[in-house]
Amino acid sequence: MNDSMRRAAAILLVIMGGAAPWWTGSGAPASASANDAMVAAIAAAPERAAANDPRLKAAWRFEEGGWIYVHLEGDPGAVGYQHGYLLAAEIEDAFAAVSAGMTHSTERDWGFFRKAAHEMLWPKIDAEYQQELQGIVEGLRAGSGSKLDVDDIVAFNAFEELPDYYVPWLNKREKAANAPNLKSPGNCSAFVATGSWTKDGKIVIAHNNWTSYRNGERWRIVFDIAPKNGYRILMDGFPGVIASDDDFGINSDGLMVTETTITQFEGWDPNGKAEFVRARKALQYAGSIDEYTKIMLDGNNGGYANDWLLGDRKTGEIAQLELGLKAHKLWRTKDGVLSGSNWARDAEVLKEDTPEFDANNKESSPNARRARWDELLQENKGKIDVGVAEKMLGDHADTTENKEDANEHTLCGHVDGSPRGVKEWEWQPYYPGGAVQGKATDATMAKDMRMMARMGHPCGGDFLAKPFLTAHPEYAWQEPYLRDMKAGPWTEFRAGQTRKERGKS
């Protein structure tokens, strides 16, 4: 293919979106008869019509470094439609993996989650995000012929909050006999630094996402969202979910946002607003640490309770919002560093919201990583930049053994290598989970909406599903969904970026 042909094909691909284009005859063997090809073309006619939908004009998709980048733009319905259409195949695949995990751990059927989404979550979702979620369903159906409806997509968007927050709360309330032991997750290692801690005195923020490899290998979307209302957003994310959800993002008014989950958090308010809605809204509409805090507190349902690490590049100020349900606390500074590895520290939050958490157990994953953050950040004081942050996210120093040993104690988590697992999260020995990808940025990059991202373990190591499942048949139920997770390179992404700009067309 010459350059102009390749460009034309690339443009056509953008127009067609991510779904398999009908004209490539994908799925049909090359030797298919003309008749078969014609039948295929007729069958694919609705997809072809969908590709001409005017709502798709402003959107595009490309892949790089193991990530799938999508640009979404317009009113909420259009943003949703583009999301659903461009990521149709990935949404179907992620929905299967996530819903299998939700029903497996809770021993509740999918209808239970649909009902919770419909009756409890949906009525409190802002109209704007209801439209976006409906748009995802429409785009998904047009893109892949999916049968999923809005209740499915809402329950799916709440995958971090319904199984591990709502269900244990409900089991306790209903005094359910033989209820599974469900624990809120502990996801992620992160920090935000500013002032004398960083090389240029401005903010540096970094995060690696800890989750099951089953879900984590699918957490490979870079969303560039130009919404009709609110600020431009660049964030990593999960196919079909409107919030970053792991979370890492920046907005065009200067907010830099990440979090780590509070281990052994207990609590749920059925009258509150879903966390995934508040988190998306805060990233889209907050121009300051105060505004961010206000949006997260408005309708706080206790779901997916996090220690939010925030930066405002306009002022150089950073903050930590420890968002419990019964208690919360905000710390802020223009000269300091704030880290997170799934531990709460406010006395009230510890007492009211995480009564089981043992802050003194040096062997636990959150506390071992907390000690490592303290060492590593102190060692790098005054030198922290994005390059240093990338290295830290891949760190394998185990503070409990005083040696390099990638496991549940290290900032780059590899729990599949740990005979201990993480009992605080109900991760059994050798649980296939840990750090699944990393992101970092600084104030200068954030000003022009850029960030670095690496898919897979931030250290660069690969996870291979087949040998793991052979060695650990206790995880055989994951076999249909568990895939290899190979690390990509650290890759820069920018809002408004097109494939052509990267010289890859």
The verdict on 202 binding Zn ion (CB under 5 A) reads no
Piece of 53-61, 243-251, 326-334, 398-406 that binds Zn ion (CB under 5 A): 398-406
With contact defined as beta carbons under 8 Å apart, do 311 and 194 qualify? yes
When the beta carbons of 218 and 396 are compared against Zn ion, the nearer one is 396
Q: How far is the CB of 459 from Zn ion (least distance, A)?
A: 3
Tell me, residue by residue from 147 to 176, as one string, x for binding to Zn ion by CB under 5 A and - for no binding. ------------------------------
Residues 338-357 interacting with Zn ion (rule: CB under 5 A): none
Q: How far is the CB of 460 from Zn ion (least distance, A)?
A: 8
Q: How far is the CB of 434 from Zn ion (least distance, A)?
A: 7
Tell me, residue by residue from 73 to 92, as one string, x for binding to Zn ion by CB under 5 A and - for no binding. --------------------
Piece of 167-175, 257-265, 292-300, 399-407 that binds Zn ion (CB under 5 A): 399-407
What's the rounded Cα separation, in Å, for the pair 103 and 419? 26
With contact defined as beta carbons under 8 Å apart, do 457 and 66 qualify? no
What's the rounded Cα separation, in Å, for the pair 414 and 392? 15
When the beta carbons of 91 and 459 are compared against Zn ion, the nearer one is 459
The verdict on 459 binding Zn ion (CB under 5 A) reads yes
The verdict on 409 binding Zn ion (CB under 5 A) reads no
| Number of residues that make up the chain | 505
Piece of 6-14, 187-195, 306-314, 407-415 that binds Zn ion (CB under 5 A): 407-415
**3-class secondary structure for 223-272?**
EEEEECCCCCEEEEECCCCCCCCCCEEEECCCEEEEEEECCCCCCCCCCC
What's the rounded Cα separation, in Å, for the pair 6 and 127? 41
**Which strands make up the sheet holding 433-442, listed edge to edge?**
336-340, 189-194, 204-212, 433-442, 450-455, 491-494
What's the rounded Cα separation, in Å, for the pair 490 and 477? 32
Closest residue by Cα to residue 272 from 313, 231, 308, 305:
305
Burial class (CB within 10 angstroms; exposed 0-12, middle 13-18, buried 19+) of 283: buried
Residues 260-289 interacting with Zn ion (rule: CB under 5 A): none
Piece of 208-216, 323-331, 360-368, 406-414 that binds Zn ion (CB under 5 A): 406-414
Q: How far is the CB of 357 from Zn ion (least distance, A)?
A: 25
Number of residues that bind Zn ion (CB under 5 A): 5
What's the rounded Cα separation, in Å, for the pair 278 and 262? 17
Radius of gyration from C-alpha coordinates of the chain:
22
When the beta carbons of 372 and 457 are compared against Zn ion, the nearer one is 457
The verdict on 457 binding Zn ion (CB under 5 A) reads yes
What's the rounded Cα separation, in Å, for the pair 350 and 363? 18
When the beta carbons of 275 and 395 are compared against Zn ion, the nearer one is 395
- CA 347 from chain centre, in angstroms, equals 28
Q: How far is the CB of 209 from Zn ion (least distance, A)?
A: 13
Q: How far is the CB of 433 from Zn ion (least distance, A)?
A: 13
Q: How far is the CB of 458 from Zn ion (least distance, A)?
A: 6
With contact defined as beta carbons under 8 Å apart, do 393 and 380 qualify? no
Q: How far is the CB of 65 from Zn ion (least distance, A)?
A: 17
What's the rounded Cα separation, in Å, for the pair 453 and 450? 10
The verdict on 412 binding Zn ion (CB under 5 A) reads yes
Closest residue by Cα to residue 447 from 495, 413, 481:
495
The verdict on 455 binding Zn ion (CB under 5 A) reads no
When the beta carbons of 356 and 404 are compared against Zn ion, the nearer one is 404
Using alpha carbons only, what angle is made at residue 414 by residues 410 and 419, rounded to the nearest 5 degrees? 100
When the beta carbons of 69 and 210 are compared against Zn ion, the nearer one is 210
Residues 483-502 interacting with Zn ion (rule: CB under 5 A): none
What's the rounded Cα separation, in Å, for the pair 246 and 113? 21
What's the rounded Cα separation, in Å, for the pair 295 and 234? 19
When the beta carbons of 165 and 463 are compared against Zn ion, the nearer one is 463
Piece of 75-83, 249-257, 270-278, 411-419 that binds Zn ion (CB under 5 A): 411-419
The verdict on 397 binding Zn ion (CB under 5 A) reads no
SS3 76: helix
Binding site for Zn ion (CB under 5 A): 406, 412, 457, 459, 461
